Amino acid sequence: GAGVSQSPRYKVAKRGQDVALRCDPISGHVSLFWYQQALGQGPEFLTYFQNEAQLDKSGLPSDRFFAERPEGSVSTLKIQRTQQEDSAVYLCASSRSGTSGPYEQYFGPGTRLTVT
Amino acid sequence: QKEVEQDPGPLSVPEGAIVSLNCTYSNSAFQYFMWYRQYSRKGPELLMYTYSSGNKEDGRFTAQVDKSSKYISLFIRDSQPSDSATYLCAMNRGSQGNLIFGKGTKLSVKP
């Protein structure tokens, strides 16, 4: 079946602009995660949804970052007033189950954000 | 000190070699261990998923977990140029869903 999809694949924003990044998880997957990957680094956790509930947002770097998943399927990560340090690849992953396992996470291709 | 340590390489081997990739971790609460492969400008692709200590084999890939040493390994037999990618180890505590990743090891397999 279809995997995780993300759009746009590439986004260039001027410093101070707001951006919205979209994630379509695998159909029926309960859990959805957002990660940020800087160049040459492993992905770092941002936030986690189980269905429409945001259960963990401890990784969001500032209050400029906001995520939602209103109907428990598609999710949007919004970054307000973008800064140069926000330049990174934003990855979305989904997992079939919630807290009871299994815990395999499947990743989308990512959105590469460049802030100029 | 990061929770998960992984040598970033780069690692260059000839085609057909056995490759050994490793990670160490500091948190004994980690229970689930994964290896992902990431090609340039692509998302991570799940290769292996293991729970508890021991070995798990899938084709040319073997994942090994030693919880007593807090050490995990991925072995690739008969390596191919198509295996050239960055390999990321990842782990989590189970009930807490987010993954903690290593930095990734960049592997190049020369024909």
**Where are any strands of DSSP class E within chain A?**
5-7, 10-13, 19-24, 31-37, 44-50, 53-56, 65-68, 75-79, 88-95, 106-107, 111-115
Query: Contact B103/A56, CB-based, under 8 Å?
Result: no
Query: Token pair for residue A111?
Result: 């959105």
Give pLDDT tens digits for A72-106: 999 999 999 999 999 999 999 999 876 656 678 99
Give pLDDT tens digits for A21-61: 999 999 999 999 999 999 999 999 999 999 999 999 999 99
Of B32, B99, B103, the CB nearest to A41: B103
What local confidence, expressed as pLDDT, does residue B53 receive?
83
What local confidence, expressed as pLDDT, does residue A13 receive?
98
Q: Give the SS3 label for residue B81.
A: helix
Residues of A in contact with B31 (CB under 8 A): none
Q: Is the pLDDT of residue B51 over 90?
A: no
What local confidence, expressed as pLDDT, does residue A68 receive?
98
Give the separation between CA A90 and CA B40, rounded to whole angstroms. 14
What local confidence, expressed as pLDDT, does residue A75 receive?
98
pLDDT band, residue B99 (cuts 50/70/90):
very high
What local confidence, expressed as pLDDT, does residue A2 receive?
85
What local confidence, expressed as pLDDT, does residue B66 receive?
94
pLDDT band, residue B96 (cuts 50/70/90):
low
Q: Is the pLDDT of residue B23 over 90?
A: yes
Residues of A in contact with B36 (CB under 8 A): 107
Stretch (H or E) spanning B42: none
- For an interface test with B, which of A91, A105, A106, A113 has the most B Cβ atoms less than 10 Å from its Cβ? A105
Tell me which residue of A94, A95, A89, A86 sits closest to A109, measured CA to CA. A89
What local confidence, expressed as pLDDT, does residue A1 receive?
56
Distance (Å) from the C-alpha of residue B68 to the closest C-alpha of chain A?
Answer: 22
pLDDT band, residue A66 (cuts 50/70/90):
very high
